[in-house]
Structure 1
Protein backbone atom coordinates (compact mmCIF):
# COMPACT_ATOMS: atom_id res chain seq x y z
CA UNK A 1 0.00 0.00 0.00
CA UNK A 2 2.83 2.38 0.89
CA UNK A 3 4.57 1.73 -2.44
CA UNK A 4 1.34 2.14 -4.41
CA UNK A 5 0.64 5.45 -2.65
CA UNK A 6 4.14 6.71 -3.55
CA UNK A 7 3.74 5.65 -7.19
CA UNK A 8 0.31 7.32 -7.35
CA UNK A 9 1.67 10.55 -5.87
CA UNK A 10 4.59 10.57 -8.34
CA UNK A 11 2.34 9.96 -11.36
CA UNK A 12 -0.15 12.56 -10.16
CA UNK A 13 2.57 15.20 -9.76
CA UNK A 14 4.07 14.32 -13.15
CA UNK A 15 0.73 14.61 -14.92
CA UNK A 16 0.06 17.96 -13.25
CA UNK A 17 3.42 19.25 -14.48
CA UNK A 18 2.73 17.98 -18.00
CA UNK A 19 -0.62 19.78 -17.94
CA UNK A 20 1.11 23.00 -16.83
CA UNK A 21 3.60 22.64 -19.68
CA UNK A 22 0.79 22.01 -22.16
CA UNK A 23 -0.97 25.19 -20.99
CA UNK A 24 2.37 27.12 -21.01
CA UNK A 25 1.94 27.85 -17.27
CA UNK A 26 5.67 27.98 -16.61
CA UNK A 27 6.12 31.57 -15.41
CA UNK A 28 6.37 33.08 -11.94
CA UNK A 29 3.92 31.82 -9.29
CA UNK A 30 1.13 34.35 -8.68
CA UNK A 31 -2.08 34.53 -6.69
CA UNK A 32 -5.23 35.47 -8.58
CA UNK A 33 -6.83 38.15 -6.40
CA UNK A 34 -10.35 37.49 -7.69
CA UNK A 35 -10.38 33.72 -7.24
CA UNK A 36 -7.79 33.36 -4.46
CA UNK A 37 -6.09 30.57 -6.42
CA UNK A 38 -2.36 30.20 -6.96
CA UNK A 39 -1.30 29.83 -10.59
CA UNK A 40 1.72 30.21 -12.83
CA UNK A 41 1.89 32.91 -15.43
CA UNK A 42 1.63 31.78 -19.05
CA UNK A 43 4.90 32.03 -20.99
CA UNK A 44 6.32 30.43 -24.08
CA UNK A 45 8.70 27.59 -23.22
CA UNK A 46 11.48 29.26 -25.23
CA UNK A 47 11.14 32.45 -23.19
CA UNK A 48 11.30 30.47 -19.94
CA UNK A 49 14.43 28.61 -21.05
CA UNK A 50 16.06 31.85 -22.16
CA UNK A 51 15.38 33.45 -18.76
CA UNK A 52 16.87 30.44 -16.98
CA UNK A 53 19.96 30.71 -19.17
CA UNK A 54 20.46 34.45 -18.81
CA UNK A 55 19.56 34.95 -15.13
CA UNK A 56 21.24 32.38 -12.90
CA UNK A 57 24.21 32.52 -10.49
CA UNK A 58 26.61 30.89 -12.98
CA UNK A 59 25.81 33.34 -15.80
CA UNK A 60 26.04 36.25 -13.35
CA UNK A 61 29.49 35.03 -12.26
CA UNK A 62 30.75 34.56 -15.83
CA UNK A 63 29.08 37.61 -17.38
CA UNK A 64 30.18 40.26 -14.87
CA UNK A 65 29.52 43.10 -17.35
CA UNK A 66 26.05 41.73 -18.30
CA UNK A 67 27.12 42.06 -21.94
CA UNK A 68 25.54 38.74 -22.97
CA UNK A 69 22.15 39.64 -21.51
CA UNK A 70 22.15 43.15 -22.91
CA UNK A 71 23.22 41.89 -26.35
CA UNK A 72 20.47 39.23 -26.34
CA UNK A 73 17.75 41.70 -25.39
CA UNK A 74 18.86 44.23 -28.01
CA UNK A 75 18.74 41.50 -30.66
CA UNK A 76 15.18 40.71 -29.55
CA UNK A 77 14.22 44.35 -29.92
CA UNK A 78 15.76 44.59 -33.39
CA UNK A 79 13.85 41.47 -34.47
CA UNK A 80 10.52 42.91 -33.32
CA UNK A 81 11.21 46.21 -35.05
CA UNK A 82 11.96 44.35 -38.29
CA UNK A 83 8.75 42.39 -37.91
CA UNK A 84 6.70 45.61 -37.63
CA UNK A 85 3.47 44.61 -35.89
CA UNK A 86 1.70 47.54 -37.58
CA UNK A 87 1.73 45.98 -41.05
CA UNK A 88 -1.64 44.74 -42.38
CA UNK A 89 -0.35 41.17 -42.69
CA UNK A 90 0.22 41.13 -38.92
CA UNK A 91 -3.58 40.79 -38.51
CA UNK A 92 -3.14 37.04 -39.04
CA UNK A 93 -1.32 36.80 -35.68
CA UNK A 94 -4.29 38.01 -33.64
CA UNK A 95 -6.33 34.81 -33.48
CA UNK A 96 -3.39 32.57 -32.53
CA UNK A 97 -2.36 35.08 -29.85
CA UNK A 98 -5.90 35.05 -28.38
CA UNK A 99 -5.98 31.24 -28.43
CA UNK A 100 -2.51 30.86 -26.88
CA UNK A 101 -3.24 33.19 -23.95
CA UNK A 102 -6.98 32.35 -23.58
CA UNK A 103 -8.00 36.03 -23.84
CA UNK A 104 -11.70 36.71 -23.20
CA UNK A 105 -12.58 39.19 -25.94
CA UNK A 106 -16.05 39.82 -24.45
CA UNK A 107 -14.38 42.30 -22.09
CA UNK A 108 -13.10 44.47 -24.95
CA UNK A 109 -14.56 46.88 -27.45
CA UNK A 110 -14.63 45.88 -30.23
CA UNK A 111 -14.87 42.25 -29.15
CA UNK A 112 -14.54 40.84 -32.68
CA UNK A 113 -10.86 40.12 -33.49
CA UNK A 114 -11.60 40.80 -37.15
CA UNK A 115 -12.29 44.45 -36.26
CA UNK A 116 -8.59 45.13 -35.62
CA UNK A 117 -6.71 45.96 -38.85
CA UNK A 118 -3.27 45.07 -37.43
CA UNK A 119 -1.76 43.31 -34.45
CA UNK A 120 -0.62 46.70 -33.13
CA UNK A 121 -4.23 47.90 -33.09
CA UNK A 122 -5.26 44.75 -31.23
CA UNK A 123 -2.44 45.04 -28.71
CA UNK A 124 -3.58 48.47 -27.50
CA UNK A 125 -7.25 47.41 -27.42
CA UNK A 126 -9.64 49.13 -24.98
CA UNK A 127 -11.95 47.60 -22.40
CA UNK A 128 -15.68 47.78 -22.96
CA UNK A 129 -17.50 50.24 -20.65
CA UNK A 130 -17.99 48.66 -17.21
CA UNK A 131 -15.49 45.84 -17.78
CA UNK A 132 -13.13 47.30 -15.20
CA UNK A 133 -15.10 49.24 -12.56
CA UNK A 134 -13.19 51.77 -10.45
CA UNK A 135 -13.07 50.99 -6.71
CA UNK A 136 -14.79 53.69 -4.59
CA UNK A 137 -14.94 56.15 -7.51
CA UNK A 138 -16.23 59.02 -5.35
CA UNK A 139 -13.70 58.55 -2.53
CA UNK A 140 -10.34 60.23 -3.30
CA UNK A 141 -8.76 58.72 -0.16
CA UNK A 142 -8.76 55.28 -1.83
CA UNK A 143 -6.05 54.55 -4.41
CA UNK A 144 -6.54 52.03 -7.21
CA UNK A 145 -4.46 49.59 -9.25
CA UNK A 146 -3.29 51.29 -12.44
CA UNK A 147 -3.13 48.33 -14.83
CA UNK A 148 -4.01 44.70 -15.39
CA UNK A 149 -0.79 43.24 -14.03
CA UNK A 150 1.02 41.22 -11.40
CA UNK A 151 1.67 43.41 -8.36
CA UNK A 152 3.91 43.62 -5.33
CA UNK A 153 3.79 46.47 -2.79
CA UNK A 154 6.24 47.48 -0.07
CA UNK A 155 6.05 50.17 2.65
CA UNK A 156 9.61 51.37 1.96
CA UNK A 157 12.05 51.48 -0.94
CA UNK A 158 14.57 49.56 1.18
CA UNK A 159 12.16 46.67 1.65
CA UNK A 160 11.44 46.65 -2.09
CA UNK A 161 15.18 46.37 -2.73
CA UNK A 162 15.67 43.68 -0.11
CA UNK A 163 12.86 41.41 -1.32
CA UNK A 164 12.17 42.18 -4.96
CA UNK A 165 14.36 44.49 -7.06
CA UNK A 166 17.93 43.32 -6.44
CA UNK A 167 19.80 45.58 -8.87
CA UNK A 168 22.25 47.56 -6.73
CA UNK A 169 21.58 50.86 -8.51
CA UNK A 170 17.82 50.94 -7.92
CA UNK A 171 16.88 54.14 -6.13
CA UNK A 172 14.16 56.68 -6.86
CA UNK A 173 16.89 59.19 -7.76
CA UNK A 174 18.29 56.83 -10.39
CA UNK A 175 14.82 55.87 -11.55
CA UNK A 176 13.88 59.48 -12.41
CA UNK A 177 17.46 60.76 -12.86
CA UNK A 178 16.87 63.70 -10.53
CA UNK A 179 18.42 63.84 -7.06
CA UNK A 180 16.44 66.88 -5.87
CA UNK A 181 12.99 65.77 -6.96
CA UNK A 182 13.56 62.27 -5.61
CA UNK A 183 13.98 63.48 -2.01
CA UNK A 184 10.26 63.30 -1.21
CA UNK A 185 10.16 59.58 -2.10
CA UNK A 186 13.60 58.64 -0.77
CA UNK A 187 12.15 55.93 1.50
CA UNK A 188 8.53 56.11 0.53
CA UNK A 189 6.06 53.32 -0.23
CA UNK A 190 6.25 51.61 -3.62
CA UNK A 191 3.95 49.52 -5.78
CA UNK A 192 5.54 47.56 -8.63
CA UNK A 193 3.20 46.38 -11.41
CA UNK A 194 4.43 44.05 -14.14
CA UNK A 195 2.49 43.58 -17.37
CA UNK A 196 2.78 40.56 -19.66
CA UNK A 197 2.18 40.47 -23.42
CA UNK A 198 -1.39 39.14 -23.04
CA UNK A 199 -2.48 41.97 -20.73
CA UNK A 200 -4.45 45.11 -21.49
CA UNK A 201 -1.65 47.60 -22.10
CA UNK A 202 -3.21 50.92 -21.21
CA UNK A 203 -2.56 52.37 -17.77
CA UNK A 204 -4.57 54.66 -15.51
CA UNK A 205 -4.10 57.12 -12.68
CA UNK A 206 -4.09 55.55 -9.21
CA UNK A 207 -5.28 58.77 -7.53
CA UNK A 208 -7.10 62.04 -8.05
CA UNK A 209 -4.95 65.17 -8.38
CA UNK A 210 -3.19 67.35 -10.92
CA UNK A 211 -0.06 66.94 -13.00
CA UNK A 212 2.95 68.56 -11.34
CA UNK A 213 5.66 67.56 -13.85
CA UNK A 214 6.47 65.14 -16.65
CA UNK A 215 9.78 63.67 -17.82
CA UNK A 216 10.84 61.11 -20.43
CA UNK A 217 14.09 59.17 -20.04
CA UNK A 218 15.46 57.21 -23.04
CA UNK A 219 17.10 53.84 -22.46
CA UNK A 220 17.13 50.10 -23.17
CA UNK A 221 14.28 47.58 -23.28
CA UNK A 222 15.52 44.78 -21.04
CA UNK A 223 13.40 41.94 -19.62
CA UNK A 224 11.33 42.75 -16.48
CA UNK A 225 10.44 39.18 -15.50
CA UNK A 226 10.96 38.52 -11.74
CA UNK A 227 13.94 36.30 -12.57
CA UNK A 228 15.58 39.35 -14.16
CA UNK A 229 14.56 41.74 -11.36
CA UNK A 230 16.03 39.34 -8.79
CA UNK A 231 19.39 39.46 -10.57
CA UNK A 232 22.16 42.04 -10.24
CA UNK A 233 21.29 43.62 -13.60
CA UNK A 234 20.05 47.20 -13.06
CA UNK A 235 17.03 46.85 -15.31
CA UNK A 236 14.52 49.44 -14.11
CA UNK A 237 17.10 52.22 -14.01
CA UNK A 238 18.40 51.37 -17.51
CA UNK A 239 15.16 50.87 -19.47
CA UNK A 240 13.35 53.63 -21.35
CA UNK A 241 10.69 55.20 -19.14
CA UNK A 242 8.26 58.09 -18.77
CA UNK A 243 7.60 59.76 -15.42
CA UNK A 244 4.56 61.75 -14.26
CA UNK A 245 4.24 63.38 -10.83
CA UNK A 246 0.63 63.75 -9.69
CA UNK A 247 -0.02 66.19 -6.86
CA UNK A 248 -2.80 64.77 -4.68
CA UNK A 249 -4.48 66.41 -1.69
CA UNK A 250 -4.99 63.01 -0.08
CA UNK A 251 -1.68 61.26 -0.91
CA UNK A 252 0.83 64.07 -1.40
CA UNK A 253 3.03 63.83 -4.49
CA UNK A 254 2.54 60.49 -6.27
CA UNK A 255 5.23 59.36 -8.72
CA UNK A 256 4.04 57.27 -11.69
CA UNK A 257 6.76 55.71 -13.87
CA UNK A 258 5.89 53.67 -16.98
CA UNK A 259 8.89 51.50 -17.91
CA UNK A 260 9.40 49.80 -21.25
CA UNK A 261 10.68 46.23 -21.45
CA UNK A 262 11.48 43.51 -23.96
CA UNK A 263 9.87 44.14 -27.38
CA UNK A 264 8.13 47.38 -26.30
CA UNK A 265 8.33 49.87 -29.15
CA UNK A 266 6.78 52.84 -27.35
CA UNK A 267 6.15 54.08 -23.82
CA UNK A 268 3.46 56.67 -24.46
CA UNK A 269 2.06 59.31 -22.11
CA UNK A 270 -0.97 61.15 -23.46
CA UNK A 271 -0.40 64.82 -24.32
CA UNK A 272 -2.70 66.20 -21.61
CA UNK A 273 -0.86 64.18 -18.94
CA UNK A 274 2.35 66.03 -19.82
CA UNK A 275 0.88 69.45 -19.03
CA UNK A 276 1.52 71.00 -15.64
CA UNK A 277 -1.73 71.69 -13.77
CA UNK A 278 -3.86 69.23 -15.80
CA UNK A 279 -6.65 67.86 -13.56
CA UNK A 280 -6.63 64.08 -13.18
CA UNK A 281 -9.43 61.89 -11.89
CA UNK A 282 -8.79 58.50 -10.32
CA UNK A 283 -8.94 55.99 -13.17
CA UNK A 284 -8.16 58.45 -15.98
CA UNK A 285 -6.06 56.93 -18.73
CA UNK A 286 -2.45 58.13 -18.50
CA UNK A 287 -1.00 56.38 -21.54
CA UNK A 288 -0.14 53.03 -23.11
CA UNK A 289 2.61 50.56 -23.97
CA UNK A 290 3.13 49.18 -27.45
CA UNK A 291 3.93 45.50 -28.07
CA UNK A 292 5.71 43.46 -25.38
CA UNK A 293 6.05 43.15 -21.63
CA UNK A 294 6.42 46.23 -19.47
CA UNK A 295 6.38 47.55 -15.90
CA UNK A 296 5.04 50.39 -13.76
CA UNK A 297 6.46 51.82 -10.54
CA UNK A 298 4.19 53.96 -8.33
CA UNK A 299 5.88 55.71 -5.40
CA UNK A 300 4.16 57.48 -2.50
CA UNK A 301 5.76 59.82 0.01
CA UNK A 302 6.64 58.15 3.36
CA UNK A 303 3.62 57.49 5.54
CA UNK A 304 1.04 58.63 2.97
CA UNK A 305 -0.53 55.27 2.02
CA UNK A 306 -1.58 52.08 3.78
CA UNK A 307 -1.49 49.35 1.13
CA UNK A 308 -4.24 46.73 1.23
CA UNK A 309 -3.39 43.98 3.72
CA UNK A 310 -3.56 41.11 1.23
CA UNK A 311 -1.21 42.81 -1.23
CA UNK A 312 1.37 43.66 1.43
CA UNK A 313 1.22 40.24 3.11
CA UNK A 314 1.72 38.33 -0.14
CA UNK A 315 4.46 40.71 -1.28
CA UNK A 316 6.38 39.97 1.92
CA UNK A 317 6.18 36.31 0.87
CA UNK A 318 7.56 37.31 -2.57
CA UNK A 319 4.30 36.25 -4.21
CA UNK A 320 2.99 38.45 -6.98
CA UNK A 321 -0.75 39.15 -7.05
CA UNK A 322 -2.70 39.02 -10.29
CA UNK A 323 -4.73 42.25 -10.23
CA UNK A 324 -6.98 44.23 -12.55
CA UNK A 325 -7.07 47.93 -13.28
CA UNK A 326 -9.53 49.70 -10.95
CA UNK A 327 -9.10 47.31 -8.01
CA UNK A 328 -8.29 48.72 -4.58
CA UNK A 329 -4.59 49.42 -3.94
CA UNK A 330 -4.72 51.13 -0.54
CA UNK A 331 -6.00 54.10 1.43
CA UNK A 332 -4.52 57.48 2.34
CA UNK A 333 -3.02 57.31 5.81
CA UNK A 334 -2.84 61.10 6.27
CA UNK A 335 -5.48 62.54 3.91
CA UNK A 336 -5.75 65.84 5.81
CA UNK A 337 -2.13 66.93 5.19
CA UNK A 338 -1.95 69.36 2.25
CA UNK A 339 0.64 68.80 -0.48
CA UNK A 340 3.84 70.85 -0.27
CA UNK A 341 5.34 73.10 -2.93
CA UNK A 342 8.99 72.26 -2.26
CA UNK A 343 11.21 70.30 -4.64
CA UNK A 344 8.79 70.68 -7.55
Structure 2
Protein backbone atom coordinates (compact mmCIF):
# COMPACT_ATOMS: atom_id res chain seq x y z
CA UNK A 1 0.00 0.00 0.00
CA UNK A 2 3.00 2.32 0.20
CA UNK A 3 2.65 2.62 -3.60
CA UNK A 4 -0.86 4.07 -3.34
CA UNK A 5 -2.58 7.23 -2.13
CA UNK A 6 -4.16 6.99 0.38
CA UNK A 7 -1.98 4.22 1.83
CA UNK A 8 -4.30 3.50 4.76
CA UNK A 9 -6.90 0.93 3.66
CA UNK A 10 -9.39 2.26 6.21
CA UNK A 11 -9.52 5.51 4.21
CA UNK A 12 -11.50 3.80 1.44
CA UNK A 13 -15.25 3.91 2.24
CA UNK A 14 -16.12 1.01 -0.12
CA UNK A 15 -14.30 -1.86 -1.77
CA UNK A 16 -14.99 -0.29 -5.15
CA UNK A 17 -13.12 2.84 -4.01
CA UNK A 18 -10.23 0.62 -2.98
CA UNK A 19 -10.34 -1.31 -6.26
CA UNK A 20 -9.82 1.84 -8.35
CA UNK A 21 -7.18 3.26 -5.96
CA UNK A 22 -4.56 5.53 -7.54
CA UNK A 23 -0.79 5.25 -7.49
CA UNK A 24 1.12 7.61 -5.24
CA UNK A 25 3.03 10.21 -7.22
CA UNK A 26 6.48 8.86 -8.09
CA UNK A 27 5.69 5.22 -7.26
CA UNK A 28 5.71 4.25 -10.96
CA UNK A 29 8.53 6.15 -12.71
CA UNK A 30 8.11 6.33 -16.48
CA UNK A 31 11.01 4.79 -18.42
CA UNK A 32 12.83 7.34 -20.61
CA UNK A 33 9.96 9.77 -20.09
CA UNK A 34 11.32 12.34 -22.56
CA UNK A 35 12.35 9.81 -25.24
CA UNK A 36 9.49 9.84 -27.74
CA UNK A 37 10.91 6.83 -29.60
CA UNK A 38 10.28 4.40 -26.72
CA UNK A 39 7.07 2.80 -25.48
CA UNK A 40 6.17 1.77 -21.94
CA UNK A 41 4.06 -0.78 -20.08
CA UNK A 42 0.45 0.40 -19.72
CA UNK A 43 -0.72 -1.46 -16.58
CA UNK A 44 0.38 -3.44 -13.54
CA UNK A 45 -0.24 -6.82 -15.12
CA UNK A 46 1.15 -9.89 -16.85
CA UNK A 47 2.29 -9.24 -20.42
CA UNK A 48 3.11 -11.29 -23.48
CA UNK A 49 4.35 -9.65 -26.69
CA UNK A 50 4.29 -10.81 -30.29
CA UNK A 51 6.17 -9.54 -33.31
CA UNK A 52 3.01 -10.11 -35.35
CA UNK A 53 -0.70 -10.82 -34.86
CA UNK A 54 -0.17 -14.10 -36.73
CA UNK A 55 2.42 -15.17 -34.14
CA UNK A 56 -0.01 -14.39 -31.31
CA UNK A 57 -2.52 -16.87 -32.73
CA UNK A 58 0.14 -19.58 -32.74
CA UNK A 59 1.32 -18.94 -29.19
CA UNK A 60 -1.36 -17.40 -26.99
CA UNK A 61 -4.56 -15.96 -28.48
CA UNK A 62 -6.21 -18.97 -30.08
CA UNK A 63 -9.82 -17.94 -30.66
CA UNK A 64 -11.16 -19.40 -33.87
CA UNK A 65 -11.51 -16.02 -35.57
CA UNK A 66 -9.33 -13.58 -33.59
CA UNK A 67 -8.12 -10.64 -35.67
CA UNK A 68 -7.57 -6.93 -35.20
CA UNK A 69 -10.47 -6.31 -37.59
CA UNK A 70 -12.85 -8.32 -35.40
CA UNK A 71 -11.42 -6.77 -32.24
CA UNK A 72 -12.15 -3.19 -33.37
CA UNK A 73 -14.98 -3.98 -35.83
CA UNK A 74 -13.33 -1.77 -38.44
CA UNK A 75 -11.93 -3.06 -41.74
CA UNK A 76 -9.67 -0.05 -42.26
CA UNK A 77 -8.05 -0.30 -38.83
CA UNK A 78 -7.85 -4.07 -39.22
CA UNK A 79 -5.82 -3.65 -42.39
CA UNK A 80 -3.64 -0.97 -40.80
CA UNK A 81 -2.68 -3.09 -37.77
CA UNK A 82 -3.35 -6.60 -39.09
CA UNK A 83 0.32 -7.50 -39.63
CA UNK A 84 1.67 -5.43 -36.77
CA UNK A 85 3.25 -6.19 -33.41
CA UNK A 86 0.98 -6.80 -30.42
CA UNK A 87 1.36 -6.61 -26.63
CA UNK A 88 -1.31 -8.38 -24.55
CA UNK A 89 -1.71 -7.33 -20.89
CA UNK A 90 -3.84 -9.34 -18.45
CA UNK A 91 -5.00 -7.79 -15.18
CA UNK A 92 -6.20 -9.87 -12.23
CA UNK A 93 -8.65 -8.54 -9.62
CA UNK A 94 -5.82 -7.83 -7.16
CA UNK A 95 -4.07 -5.49 -9.61
CA UNK A 96 -4.18 -1.72 -9.82
CA UNK A 97 -6.93 -1.21 -12.41
CA UNK A 98 -6.05 2.11 -14.00
CA UNK A 99 -4.29 2.06 -17.35
CA UNK A 100 -1.88 4.44 -19.04
CA UNK A 101 -0.71 5.53 -22.46
CA UNK A 102 2.19 3.56 -23.96
CA UNK A 103 3.41 6.53 -26.03
CA UNK A 104 3.33 10.31 -26.33
CA UNK A 105 1.08 11.51 -29.13
CA UNK A 106 -2.29 12.80 -30.29
CA UNK A 107 -5.66 11.07 -30.01
CA UNK A 108 -6.94 10.25 -33.51
CA UNK A 109 -9.99 8.12 -32.75
CA UNK A 110 -12.11 6.86 -29.86
CA UNK A 111 -14.78 4.15 -29.89
CA UNK A 112 -16.76 2.34 -27.20
CA UNK A 113 -18.21 -1.09 -27.94
CA UNK A 114 -20.74 -3.00 -25.79
CA UNK A 115 -20.30 -6.72 -25.30
CA UNK A 116 -19.97 -9.67 -22.95
CA UNK A 117 -17.79 -10.14 -19.85
CA UNK A 118 -16.17 -13.53 -20.34
CA UNK A 119 -13.14 -14.52 -18.27
CA UNK A 120 -9.75 -13.59 -19.80
CA UNK A 121 -7.42 -15.94 -17.90
CA UNK A 122 -4.84 -17.88 -19.98
CA UNK A 123 -6.98 -21.01 -20.31
CA UNK A 124 -9.94 -18.99 -21.53
CA UNK A 125 -7.88 -16.97 -24.01
CA UNK A 126 -6.48 -20.20 -25.48
CA UNK A 127 -9.96 -21.71 -25.96
CA UNK A 128 -11.92 -21.78 -29.20
CA UNK A 129 -14.20 -18.94 -28.02
CA UNK A 130 -13.26 -15.55 -29.47
CA UNK A 131 -13.37 -13.85 -26.07
CA UNK A 132 -11.36 -10.73 -26.93
CA UNK A 133 -13.61 -10.09 -29.93
CA UNK A 134 -16.82 -10.46 -27.88
CA UNK A 135 -16.18 -8.70 -24.57
CA UNK A 136 -17.10 -5.05 -23.90
CA UNK A 137 -14.24 -2.75 -24.86
CA UNK A 138 -13.15 0.85 -25.44
CA UNK A 139 -10.33 1.79 -27.74
CA UNK A 140 -8.31 4.74 -28.95
CA UNK A 141 -5.80 5.26 -31.74
CA UNK A 142 -2.84 7.45 -30.74
CA UNK A 143 -0.73 9.13 -33.42
CA UNK A 144 2.90 9.24 -32.26
CA UNK A 145 5.94 10.87 -33.85
CA UNK A 146 8.30 7.89 -33.93
CA UNK A 147 6.12 4.80 -33.41
CA UNK A 148 3.36 5.67 -35.87
CA UNK A 149 -0.27 5.05 -35.02
CA UNK A 150 -0.78 2.96 -31.86
CA UNK A 151 -4.02 1.08 -31.14
CA UNK A 152 -4.97 0.76 -27.44
CA UNK A 153 -7.91 -1.55 -26.63
CA UNK A 154 -9.22 -1.85 -23.03
CA UNK A 155 -11.29 -5.05 -22.70
CA UNK A 156 -13.64 -5.92 -19.85
CA UNK A 157 -13.88 -9.37 -18.29
CA UNK A 158 -15.64 -11.32 -15.53
CA UNK A 159 -17.12 -9.04 -12.82
CA UNK A 160 -15.89 -5.83 -14.44
CA UNK A 161 -18.42 -3.09 -13.74
CA UNK A 162 -17.31 -0.88 -16.61
CA UNK A 163 -14.57 -0.14 -19.13
CA UNK A 164 -13.99 3.61 -19.13
CA UNK A 165 -11.53 5.67 -21.15
CA UNK A 166 -11.53 9.14 -19.58
CA UNK A 167 -13.65 11.79 -21.29
CA UNK A 168 -10.59 13.85 -22.20
CA UNK A 169 -9.25 11.07 -24.44
CA UNK A 170 -12.54 10.60 -26.24
CA UNK A 171 -11.90 13.75 -28.30
CA UNK A 172 -9.67 13.63 -31.37
CA UNK A 173 -6.75 16.05 -31.35
CA UNK A 174 -6.04 16.00 -27.61
CA UNK A 175 -2.40 15.42 -26.69
CA UNK A 176 -1.42 12.62 -24.30
CA UNK A 177 1.93 11.93 -22.67
CA UNK A 178 3.63 8.58 -22.29
CA UNK A 179 2.56 7.13 -18.93
CA UNK A 180 -0.43 9.49 -18.57
CA UNK A 181 -3.60 7.83 -17.25
CA UNK A 182 -5.96 6.81 -20.05
CA UNK A 183 -8.80 5.25 -18.09
CA UNK A 184 -9.98 2.77 -15.47
CA UNK A 185 -11.61 -0.63 -15.11
CA UNK A 186 -14.12 -1.09 -12.32
CA UNK A 187 -14.17 -4.30 -10.27
CA UNK A 188 -12.99 -7.52 -11.90
CA UNK A 189 -10.35 -8.95 -14.18
CA UNK A 190 -9.62 -7.35 -17.51
CA UNK A 191 -7.29 -7.29 -20.49
CA UNK A 192 -5.55 -4.73 -22.72
CA UNK A 193 -4.31 -5.13 -26.29
CA UNK A 194 -1.79 -2.61 -27.64
CA UNK A 195 -1.04 -2.95 -31.35
CA UNK A 196 1.61 -1.20 -33.45
CA UNK A 197 1.81 -0.90 -37.22
CA UNK A 198 4.11 -3.36 -38.97
CA UNK A 199 7.78 -2.44 -38.82
CA UNK A 200 7.41 0.29 -36.19
CA UNK A 201 8.51 -1.25 -32.86
CA UNK A 202 11.08 -3.65 -31.49
CA UNK A 203 9.87 -5.09 -28.19
CA UNK A 204 12.44 -5.54 -25.42
CA UNK A 205 14.37 -8.78 -25.90
CA UNK A 206 13.61 -10.17 -22.43
CA UNK A 207 9.88 -9.83 -23.04
CA UNK A 208 10.13 -11.38 -26.51
CA UNK A 209 12.17 -14.37 -25.37
CA UNK A 210 9.79 -15.28 -22.55
CA UNK A 211 6.72 -14.66 -24.68
CA UNK A 212 8.01 -17.15 -27.27
CA UNK A 213 7.85 -19.71 -24.47
CA UNK A 214 4.26 -18.63 -23.69
CA UNK A 215 5.40 -17.17 -20.36
CA UNK A 216 3.61 -14.04 -19.17
CA UNK A 217 5.86 -11.55 -17.40
CA UNK A 218 4.91 -9.53 -14.29
CA UNK A 219 5.26 -5.85 -15.16
CA UNK A 220 4.36 -2.46 -13.70
CA UNK A 221 3.15 0.78 -15.26
CA UNK A 222 5.96 2.77 -16.85
CA UNK A 223 8.47 -0.04 -17.37
CA UNK A 224 10.15 -0.28 -20.76
CA UNK A 225 8.14 -2.10 -23.46
CA UNK A 226 10.16 -1.41 -26.62
CA UNK A 227 11.43 1.25 -28.96
CA UNK A 228 11.00 2.46 -32.53
CA UNK A 229 12.79 0.46 -35.19
CA UNK A 230 15.64 2.16 -37.09
CA UNK A 231 14.34 4.57 -39.65
CA UNK A 232 11.53 5.73 -37.36
CA UNK A 233 13.41 6.80 -34.21
Question: Which interval holds the TM-score relative to the shorter structure?
Answer: over 0.9
Question: How far does residue 196 in structure 1 lie from its aligned partner after superposition?
Answer: 0.3
Contact 2:147–2:232 (8 Å) recurs in 1? no
Q: Please state whether the residue corresponding to 1:302 is helix, strand or coil.
A: coil
Q: Please state whether the residue corresponding to 2:211 is helix, strand or coil.
A: helix
Q: Please state whether the residue corresponding to 1:106 is helix, strand or coil.
A: coil
Structure 2 counterpart of 1:316: 212
Structure 1 counterpart of 2:111: 215
Which whole-Å CA distance do the structure 2 matches of 1:186 and 1:139 have between them? 27
Q: For 1:305, which of 201, 220, 226 is the aligned residue?
A: 201
Q: Please state whether the residue corresponding to 2:102 is helix, strand or coil.
A: coil
- Work out whether 1:133 is the aligned partner of 2:29: yes
Q: TM-score, normalised by structure 2?
A: 0.98
Question: How far does residue 334 in structure 1 lie from its aligned partner after superposition?
Answer: 4.3
Structure 2 counterpart of 1:32: none
Which whole-Å CA distance do the structure 2 matches of 1:266 and 1:335 have between them? 40
Contact 1:141–1:335 (8 Å) recurs in 2? no
How many residue pairs get aligned? The number is 233
Question: How far does residue 181 in structure 1 lie from its aligned partner after superposition?
Answer: 2.2
Structure 2 counterpart of 1:291: 187
Q: For 1:173, which of 66, 69, 73 is the aligned residue?
A: 69
Which whole-Å CA distance do the structure 1 matches of 2:220 and 2:77 have between them? 30
> 1:98-143 deviations in whole A, cap 9, x for unaligned?
xxxxxxx111100001111111110000011111100001101110
Contact 1:192–1:297 (8 Å) recurs in 2? yes
* Bigger Rg, structure 1 or 2: 1
Structure 2 counterpart of 1:328: 224
Cα distance change, pair 335–270 in 1 and its aligned pair in 2 (3 A): farther
Which whole-Å CA distance do the structure 1 matches of 2:108 and 2:227 have between them? 21
Runs of 4+ with deviation above 3 angstroms:
334-337
Question: How far does residue 180 in structure 1 lie from its aligned partner after superposition?
Answer: 1.5
Cα distance change, pair 274–258 in 1 and its aligned pair in 2 (3 A): same
Contact 1:251–1:335 (8 Å) recurs in 2? no
Q: For 2:11, which of 115, 121, 137 is the aligned residue?
A: 115
> 1:224-246 deviations in whole A, cap 9, x for unaligned?
00000111011000000001000
Cα distance change, pair 125–247 in 1 and its aligned pair in 2 (3 A): same
Q: For 2:125, which of 229, 234, 251 is the aligned residue?
A: 229
Question: Which has a greater percent of helix?
Answer: 1
Which whole-Å CA distance do the structure 2 matches of 1:145 and 1:205 have between them? 8
Structure 1 counterpart of 2:150: 254
Question: How far does residue 168 in structure 1 lie from its aligned partner after superposition?
Answer: 1.3
Structure 2 stretches lacking a partner, 5+ long:
none
Question: Which has a greater percent of strand?
Answer: 2
Structure 2 counterpart of 1:200: 96
Structure 2 counterpart of 1:11: none
> 1:187-218 deviations in whole A, cap 9, x for unaligned?
10000000000000000000000000000110
Which whole-Å CA distance do the structure 1 matches of 2:78 and 2:122 have between them? 25
Q: Please state whether the residue corresponding to 1:181 is helix, strand or coil.
A: helix
Which whole-Å CA distance do the structure 2 matches of 1:231 and 1:294 have between them? 17
Q: TM-score, normalised by structure 1?
A: 0.67
How do residues 53-68 of structure 1 correspond to structure 2 at under 5 angstroms?
none
Q: For 1:188, which of 81, 84, 87 is the aligned residue?
A: 84
Which whole-Å CA distance do the structure 2 matches of 1:168 and 1:251 have between them? 30
